[in-house]
A and B are shown apart, each in its own frame.
Chain A
Amino acid sequence: MSLELVLQYLVAGLTYGTIYAVVGVGFNIIYNTTGIINFAQGEFVMLGGMTAVTLHAFLPLPLAIAGAVLVTMGVGALIEVTFIRWLWKPSVLRMIVITIGISILVREAALHLWGEQVRALPYFTGDEVTSLDLGGVRFSPQVLWSLGVCLFIVVALWAFFQRTRVGRQMRACAANRDAAILCGIPTRNLVTLSFVLSAGIGALAGAVVSPITYTHYGIGSGLAIKGFTVAVLGGLGNSFAAVAAGFLVGILESFSVWLLPAAYTDAVSVTVFLAILFFRPSGLFGSREIARLKAY
């Protein structure tokens, strides 16, 4: 396999990886603050893409995307307030099943709202056939946009968690919820905020990737599973390891096409996931100690 081919597969892997990374980060934000694995995470990505396309019909592209992000954030808040907020010490089992139910409802609502057709935003720069040439490797400029947005999300989140008061409060909440409550941190609102943030980044990623991958009502569940794989792979709760893990999974899938029939690509990432679960559940970058000590 020539170097050019390797690089081409690598670029393809980075493309898939962006979206997995963002979904994984979204999982972690909610998990850190609440201990909930949010199955509806993939639906946020779907909503971002679909809403952006609908808004784009009468708004210029940047506004359409911003609008989509806001709308999806609203949906995230709505979900939290309606379904999660008033539950009293729910068991893990119950929460998983509840978020599965939520994701199904969101998906069916999308189906009946938008129909079964696929939609996509136009390419941000150029069109469907423009491609950049980097040392013999050709790819669409949209890939750079995706990577850029992913980077922006990561940096913005880092700044938020490290530098702002609210961000630090969320980290306190994640470290020890009861202590946070005792310190007077409004944990209930922070839970809502975590959903809002996750929804927002999911929507943004969904919008920026839609020209490449298309969006339709059913993409959410597959993404949720991949996202969870990525989050666990990086070490559940370790926000930024999820980014690395996301790209890793994307690259793995891409290279697997070389060896296996493409129809088994999904099975590859799931197998990796199961392997991690069985042999190193704290993830590649997580610490076994911390994983065991965590309240959830």
Chain B
Amino acid sequence: MKKTPILALLAAGGAALAASPALAADEPIKVGALLSVTGPASFLGAPEARTLEMLVEELNAKGGVAGRKIQLLLKDTGGSPEKALSFAKQLVDEEQVFAIIGPSTSGETMAVKPIAEESGTLLLSCAAAEAIVNPVAKWVFKTPQKDSHAVVRIFQQMKKMGVTRIGVLSSNTGFGKAGKDQIAKIAPEHGITIVVDEVYDKAATDLTAEVTKLKAAGVQAVLNWSIEPAQAIVIKNIRQIGLDVPIFQSHGFGNLQYVKAAGAAAEGVIFPAGRILVADKLPDKHPQKAVLLAYKRAYESRYKEDVSTFGGHAWDAFHLLVNAIRAGGADRAKARDALEATQGFVGTAGLFTMSPADHNGLGLDAFEMLVVKGGGFAVLSN
């Protein structure tokens, strides 16, 4: 089953309790991963974990990096910050990992951030909160795009479509809240008025009541910000009560599974996303195309499920780390400096250019505006 490799790795990781001395030449480089493989954030953590396992195997088959293999120590935090904290301390103190990839959620990352800083361990988070890299912490980086950029791109699109009055729906998760805050902050700059602003429970099974409120307020478009399957329910409800306005989603919609779940209701939904979702539709000369197609094919053939932008964050974190090790050697300080000096690295989420002040490295153009057409994703053309 899909879970078996993860369980096997957990068993392996759990068994390796002895503290290891300074990394000897043939010893593998230990990389820890704190991901929410199960629990409320499993939509993020499970693809991220699968991606990492796949990449580590591929890399080790080719001989590893700097002459050494990578040993992945994957811990399932179940989305809980106290577990993330405990495992982080374990990885740092006991295993003395070289770096940690993850956590998957912002709450967990903020809990783990001080540990990374205190111990001088590289942390490449797959979570999106601005607070992770702002203020910049020496050892902490993140790979997802900025939420604020996603919001800006959406508003730019709305402006093009002449939309000024919108209804905003968000889920009561960290992602939903972060989005809601950014939306409220940025909307005035683009002349958008938020007429209705509702937060719903992420486990809600029917949102007709909330959507009715939007219809009653006469909004010109709906912006939904959630990352759970609730986003499919929302768009179904909107179409079912006959609210025929454009629907915008967050970059959390970045999985074909959600489109399939929403069926016909997803037609015409507009959202910003990483280009992995339209990899085959990109022009051949596009710098990301080769990388994206390779990842997509490898993931889909191995795991028999659609690739998503979430797994891509782990892909980016891993490759950024490996490149840093290649450039700076298996030395923490040097690898960190190399990571910070990354220029134009081609990742799944975009092209990364980092700096001492920017530990994310992605700009507004990392996003592509996509639209759902014929049950699949297409680039939005205006």
Note whether A and B contact each other (Cβ less than 8 A).
yes
**B2 close to A (CB within 8 Å):** yes
Inter-chain contact B209/A139, CB cutoff 8 Å: no
Residue of B at shortest CB range from A257? Answer: B209
B interface bracket (residues with beta carbon within 8 Å of A): 35 or more
A129-B239 CB under 8 A given contacts A216-B229, A263-B201: yes
**A59 close to B (CB within 8 Å):** no
Contacts of B207 in A (CB 8 A): 262
> Which of B199, B209, B257 contacts A9 (CB under 8 A)?
B209
Inter-chain contact B236/A129, CB cutoff 8 Å: yes
Inter-chain contact B201/A266, CB cutoff 8 Å: yes
Main secondary structure of the interface of B (DSSP, over half): helix
Contacts of A2 in B (CB 8 A): 216
Contacts of A70 in B (CB 8 A): none
> Which of A8, A214, A218, A219 contacts B233 (CB under 8 A)?
A214
> Which of A118, A120, A129, A214 contacts B240 (CB under 8 A)?
A129
Separation of A205 and B266 alpha carbons in the complex (Å): 26
* A210-225 Cβ-contact flags toward B at 8 Å (1 or 0): 0011101011001000
A139-B208 CB under 8 A given contacts A112-B3, A131-B242, A258-B213: yes
Inter-chain contact A214/B257, CB cutoff 8 Å: no
**B333 close to A (CB within 8 Å):** no
> Which of B172, B263, B264 contacts A263 (CB under 8 A)?
B172
Separation of A228 and B209 alpha carbons in the complex (Å): 23
Residues 171-208 (chain B) with a chain A CB within 8 angstroms:
172, 198-201, 203-208
Separation of A62 and B229 alpha carbons in the complex (Å): 26
**B134 close to A (CB within 8 Å):** no
Inter-chain contact B262/A128, CB cutoff 8 Å: yes
Contacts of B241 in A (CB 8 A): 8, 131, 138-139
Query: Which of B38-46, B101-109, B155-163 participates in binding chain A?
Result: B38-46
Contacts of A212 in B (CB 8 A): 205-206, 236
**B366 close to A (CB within 8 Å):** no
Listed by A's residue number, 23 A-B pairs whose Cβ atoms lie within 8 Å are A2-B216, A5-B216, A112-B3, A115-B46, A116-B42, A118-B232, A128-B263, A128-B265, A128-B266, A131-B240, A131-B241, A212-B206, A212-B236, A213-B206, A214-B205, A219-B205, A257-B210, A257-B213, A261-B198, A261-B199, A262-B198, A262-B201, A263-B172
